[in-house]
Amino acid sequence: MSGHSVEEIRQETRKYWVIFVALVALTVITVGVSYLDLSESMHITVALLIACLKGGLVAAVFMHLISEKQAIYAILLLTVVFFVVLMLGPAFGRWGSTGVV
Amino acid sequence: MQIPYNVEARPDTGLYNAKLGIWLFLASEVMLFGALFSSYVLLRTGDPGFMTIPHEIAEHLGVHEGTLWSDELNVPLAFVNTLVLIFSSVTMVMSWASLKLKDIGKFKLWMGLTNLCALGFMVIKTIEYSAKFSHGLFPSSGNFLAVYFTMTGLHGLHVVGGLIVNSYLWGPGSKMWKTEPERFTNRVEVAGLYWHFVDLVWIFLFPSLYLL
């Protein structure tokens, strides 16, 4: 996000407020859904899906990841790989102790 | 000495150096918070009593046996804090856009609002923590509270760190606008990337700890 014209920046700022409204709406939805009578796994799935969507909007628009340089994508690709390994840690831990994932 | 590539992009990365630096830092931050989230999952799935308030504490709090820890957390306050942080992300990016539009006055306004939001977040967090402490609830009270205080505490420290940097950019640091406006704009962009990351972490913390 560098070297943009004044008009492009103005358009960007309008987009920021649209994303703000979307984030507020998704926050209200995630709280609303938490009061519904669903199974625990359903609650976890829905809440994390909404959180991923919100996080994606913040990263893509506010952090300008939608139009970034290759070097940053490369760093993030590596980060995602290690993050996934980290999050799989609990599954591996249980596998080691109980024989099942 | 002139520090290279703090305005123009380095030919090999296509980025000014601070931007590459902040993304590497954020990558390490993902691993820091990722380790804590992973530990949370491990403890929650491995300990059948993780979410339940122990008998003696439930009695002390005057709640039913089998009440969940997450039911003791203040969802309305955390909900307001989520909105405060989301709003601060918009004000942060608006402060950067103001500099791109060469309007330092607007920058001061948006950055000032960002800092007020950060302060507001910490005030609400302090109210939440005080309520827990006054009920005798500490990190040592149970695994869930240990996770809750560790993760929200570390996140709170990040908010304070951002507040310090952003206050500097709002105050004395903004003098750079007169001498090196592009470099100052880049500083604000980099501080913004950090701030959005702090918002992003909270977006996952809020449902994970308060709602599930």
Residue A94: band (very low, low, confident or very high) from pLDDT cuts 50, 70, 90: low
Residue B9 belongs to some domain of the structure: no
Amino acid at B160: V
pLDDT at A6 over 60: yes
Domain range summary for chain A, segments of one domain joined by +? 1-68, 69-101
Examine the pLDDT at A3 and tell me if it is beyond 80: no
Query: What pLDDT does A93 receive?
Result: 67
Asked whether the beta carbons of residue A59 and residue B38 sit closer than 8 angstroms, the reply is no
Q: Which domain, by its residues, includes B33?
A: 17-211
Confidence at A95, pLDDT banded by 50, 70, 90:
low
- Per CB-CB distance under 8 Å, the chain A contacts of B193 are 63
Q: ipTM, 2 decimals?
A: 0.93
User: In terms of DSSP H, where are the helices of chain B?
Assistant: 17-46, 55-61, 69-72, 75-100, 104-134, 143-170, 176-179, 181-205
Put simply, whether B127 touches A (Cβ < 8 Å) is no
Residues 64 through 83 of chain B touching chain A, CB cutoff 8 Å: 75, 79, 82-83
Residue A63's pLDDT band, with cuts at 50, 70 and 90, is: very high
Shortest distance, CA B76 to any CA of chain A (angstroms): 9
Decide if pLDDT at A99 tops 90. no
Q: What's residue B212's pLDDT?
A: 87
What is the domain-level CATH number for residue B38?
A: 1.20.120.80
B66 versus A98: which is more confidently predicted?
Answer: B66
User: Residue B36: its chain A contacts at CB < 8 A?
Assistant: none
Mean pLDDT value across residues A56-70: 95
Whether residues A44 and B189 touch (CB distance < 8 A) is answered with no
Residue B155 in domain = yes
Structural tokens at position B179: 């001498």
Task: Report the number of distinct structural domains present in chain B.
Answer: 1
**pLDDT by 10s per residue, chain B, length 212:** 788 898 999 999 999 999 999 999 999 999 999 999 999 999 998 888 999 999 999 999 999 988 999 999 999 999 999 999 999 999 999 999 999 999 999 999 999 999 999 999 999 999 999 999 999 999 999 999 999 999 999 999 999 999 999 999 999 999 999 999 999 999 999 999 999 999 999 999 999 999 98
pLDDT of residue B146: 96
CA distance B184 to B188: 6
Q: CA distances (Å), A80 to each of A70, A72, A76, A85, B167, in order?
A: 15, 12, 6, 9, 32
- Picking from A24, A51, A89, the nearest residue to B86 by CB comes out as A24
pLDDT in tens, A14-34: 999 999 999 999 999 999 999
pTM (whole model) above 0.90: yes
Cα–Cα distances (Å) from B96 to A41, A57, B114, B147, B185, in that order, read: 40, 18, 11, 35, 7
Task: Compute how many other C-beta atoms are within 10 angstroms of the C-beta atom of residue A60.
Answer: 14
Give the tens place of pLDDT for each residue, A37-55.
999 899 999 999 999 999 9
Strand, coil or helix: what is B102? Answer: coil
Q: Is B197 in contact with A55 (Cβ distance < 8 A)?
A: no
Taking the Cβ of residue A87 and every Cβ of chain B, the question of whether any pair is shorter than 8 Å is answered with: yes
Q: Is B1 within a domain?
A: no
Question: Has residue B7 been placed in a domain?
Answer: no
Please give the Cα distance from B103 to A67 (Å, whole number): 24
| CB proximity under 8 Å: A 8-27 to B | 9-10, 12-13, 16-17, 19-20, 23-24, 27
> pLDDT band at residue A92, thresholds of 50, 70 and 90?
confident
What pLDDT is attached to residue A101? 45
What pLDDT was estimated at residue A97?
61
Q: How confident is the model at residue B46, as a pLDDT? A: 87
Residue that wins the pLDDT comparison between B33 and A100: B33
